[in-house]
Amino acid sequence: MTRRSRFKSQSGSYNDALPWNVNLHAVSTLDKLAFLLGLQKQVYGIIIDAGSTGSRVLAFTFHETYLDRTLKLDSELFVQVKPGLSSYADNPKKGAESLEELLDRAKSVIPASDWASTPLAMKATAGLRLLPGHQADSLLKEVKKSFDLSPFLTNDNSVTIMDGVDEGLFSWFTVNFLLDRLGGNVENTVAALDLGGGSTQITFAPSDEATIKHSNPEFLHRISVFHNNLTVYTHSYLGLGLMAARKEVLSVGNPDNSLVLRSECINPIITGKEWTYNKITYTVKGPQNPEYKTIKGNANSEAEKRPIVRFTECTKIVKQYVGTKVDKPAELNLKEINAFSYYFDRATEYGLIDPFSGGVVSVKDFQKAAITTCDTPNTEQPFMCLDLTFISVLLQDGFGLKPDTKLNLFKKIDGHELSWALGAVFHILQNGL
């Protein structure tokens, strides 16, 4: 008998039944034998993640288990292109064309005989949420035209802008699915922190009744997983993605609509760095009144005056932007936390963790990295001081995490990408497009 597990939000953002087993990655001896005899049915699904900074295709390969016909994840193709779809707001046809390379790559890993039965969906996130409605609609229409001409299975629901709440729930489910944390005690589940370019999501399953009692009801969603009813806390903050925040912080103190942005969060050594955001190219510079730090010399060298970022001033600006926008669920400090996307990227670029294996850091490590980076002139990474400062402020002043709170930073778990796309494709395979 097929065992089906319900994963449904009673708030209205979900209505799916997902065929996920508790022993998610376990493969039985009979399963292995069925594979060798060619008795397992392969199942495929394609998700295009149209984010604010780039578009990614994830083409998933599953097999149905021999006995109960539930789905097991085998592999996925992950390919990305830049810039993001929202960058083509003034040329939606070209935006749709930018996805063709991704579809071609998906074709390369899925047998042609299965194309017609393989569902294809594009879900846009913060980049399109931030666009004026008419521009977002034009992009969606052009992508829909392109999808209609593809050999894959599509319908009118194949191209959508995904709600931030759904993005958070899908990410949380994916992380816990890959860690085999579902189907048991809610205290065993992990929290998911996802930092994108345009928005950020925080999602976890509270085990403390006080969290449920004192949280904004809009942040709480009742779901059913493996026949267990859970309350999941999730909230998406539009505008608190890394790139969106960078733009707002850089704009502080400059005239409205200025294309030249001077900032206290940029080292004075930067006198004209071009940066493009939402198809607008800005010239970024350090402050007009630079700060210098004297580095003592030794017997063979003189003292050196080094240009630095005023870390206190930069932090003040970032704190004003993050402000009171972010809820601080106290229980988050007690949860095991997996943080990914730009949390992982900036940690690897600074050297906090290995880019291949990932690692565990504490919240204060981001602050220490920010202080060190802001104290060091670096023309190759002119935004690292700002980015690390924003992450540090978001974690501590935004989410209320304590300095010693640990963060698991991984790009993959069990060889699979950490992405909301996995949850999305399961939803589609079970319920249709």
Whole-prediction pTM value?
Answer: 0.86
189 found inside a domain: no
40 is in an annotated binding site: no
- Which residue in 167, 264, 331, 417 is the catalytic one? 167
200 is in an annotated binding site: yes
Sign of CA dihedral 325, 392, 86, 101: negative
Question: E-assigned strands of 153-190?
Answer: 159-161
Residue 153, Ramachandran bin (φ over 0: left; ψ between -120 and 50: alpha; else beta): beta
CA 416 to chain centre: 15
199 is in an annotated binding site: yes
151 found inside a domain: yes
45 found inside a domain: yes
Beta bridge partners of 123: 49, 160
- The bridge status of strand 120-124 relative to strand 42-50 is parallel
Which H helix or E strand runs over 30?
helix 29-36
What's the total number of domains in the chain? Answer: 1
Apex 156 CA angle, 154 and 162, nearest 5? 95
Apex 185 CA angle, 431 and 193, nearest 5? 70
Question: Looking up tokens 């005899």, which residue turns up?
Answer: 37
Spatial distance between the Cα atoms of 279 and 235, rounded to a whole number of angstroms = 28
What burial letters (b/e) apply to 85-119, b meaning 16+ CB within 10 Å? bbbbbeebeebbebbeebbebbbebbeeeebeebb
33 found inside a domain: yes
- pLDDT, tens digit, 9 for 90 and up, residues 221-260: 998 665 678 899 999 999 999 999 999 999 999 999 999 9
For residue 30, the enclosing domain spans: 5-165+416-431
Spatial distance between the Cα atoms of 318 and 244, rounded to a whole number of angstroms = 12
pLDDT in tens, the chain (433 residues): 222 333 444 333 433 333 333 344 445 565 666 566 666 789 999 999 999 889 999 999 998 875 666 778 899 999 999 999 999 999 999 999 999 999 999 999 999 999 999 999 999 998 999 899 999 999 999 999 999 999 999 999 999 999 999 999 999 989 998 998 987 789 999 999 999 999 999 999 999 999 999 999 999 999 866 567 889 999 999 999 999 999 999 999 999 999 999 999 999 999 999 999 988 999 999 999 999 998 876 766 777 899 999 999 999 999 999 987 799 999 999 999 999 999 999 999 999 999 999 999 999 999 999 999 999 999 999 999 999 999 999 999 999 999 999 999 999 998 999 999 998 998 788 778 8
Tokens of 392: 């540090």
SS3 content of the chain, % helix, strand, coil (to 5): 35, 25, 40
364 found inside a domain: no
3-state secondary structure at position 236:
strand
Measured between its terminal Cα atoms, the distance across the chain in Å is: 25
CA 8 to chain centre: 22
275 found inside a domain: no
The backbone torsions φ and ψ at residue 155, rounded to the nearest 5 degrees and listed phi first, read -155, -165
113 found inside a domain: yes
55 is in an annotated binding site: no
115 found inside a domain: yes
415 is in an annotated binding site: no
Does 167 participate in catalysis according to the annotation? yes
- From the list 49, 125, 126, 42, the residue with the least C-alpha distance to 80 is 49
Q: How many residues does the chain have?
A: 433
Q: Tell me the CATH number at 94.
A: 3.30.420.40
- pLDDT, tens digit, 9 for 90 and up, residues 278-327: 889 999 999 999 999 988 767 667 778 999 999 999 999 999 999 877 99
Question: E-assigned strands of 205-299?
Answer: 220-225, 228-238, 260-262, 273-277, 280-285, 291-295
